Amino acid sequence: MEPRQHPPESTKDSLTRSQAQVLKLMQHLDCAVSAQELFTMLRNQHQNIGLATVYRTLKALTLRGIVQLRTSTNGESLYSLVEQDTHHLTCLNCGQSFPLKECPVHELEANLRSSQAFKIYYHTLEFFGLCSLCQLQLEVGT
C-alpha cells in the first residue's frame, strides 16, 4: 500500500471530536453497524458529522485496535468494538446472520501473539452455509 498524503490520524493518544462521537455511540450499541447507519444515527441525534468523517474515524479507530470490522454478504463493512467480540453463522443465500457465543480460537490467537512479529488486534470467525428456510427455497428450484 502506498504512503498516505495526509499523515494518519491514527496513533495518537487523544481522540478527535469525531472519534469521541463515534466511539460514544458505539458503546451504546450491542451489535455491529455500518458506517452509514452510524452516520444516520449521529445526524438524528443532531450531532453534526460528515459521512466521510465517519469512514475516516472508523479507519483510525480500527488502526488503534479499538474497533473491528467484518463484511456483510451485501459487501458492506460492519463495525463493532473489539471488546464486543462475536462470531456468526451466516446464510449465503439470504444473508441473515446469527451470532455465536462459542469461540475456540482464543488459544491459537494467544500462540500467534507470542510467537510472531505481527501484532494481533482481533480475529473474525464466520461460518457460511444455508439456513433452513433457504435450503427449502433452493431445493424447490432443483
Separation CA 107–CA 114 (nearest Å): 11
- Taking the complex as a whole, the smallest distance from the CB of residue 129 to DNA amounts, in Å, to 17
Closest to DNA by CB, 95 vs 103, is 95
Residue 71 DSSP SS3: strand
Closest to DNA by CB, 8 vs 111, is 8
Asked if 142 is part of the footprint of DNA (rule: CB under 7 A), the reply reads no
Asked if 59 is part of the footprint of DNA (rule: CB under 7 A), the reply reads yes
- Residue 121 contacts residue 81 (beta carbons within 8 Å): no
Query: What are the C-alpha distances in Å from 51 to residues 39, 58, 112?
Result: 6, 11, 36
Asked if 122 is part of the footprint of a second copy (rule: CB under 8 A), the reply reads yes
From residue 80 to residue 119, the character string flagging contacts with a second copy as x (rule: CB under 8 A) and all else as - is ---------x-xxxxx--x---x-xx-xxx--x---xxxx
Polymer length of the chain: 142
Cα-Cα-Cα-Cα dihedral sign, residues 104, 109, 115, 116: positive
What element of type H or E holds 26?
helix 17-27
Asked if 8 is part of the footprint of a second copy (rule: CB under 8 A), the reply reads yes
State which of positions 61-80 bind DNA (CB under 7 A): 74-77
Binding site residues, DNA, CB under 7 A: 5-7, 9, 12, 14, 16-19, 34-36, 48-53, 55-57, 59, 74-77
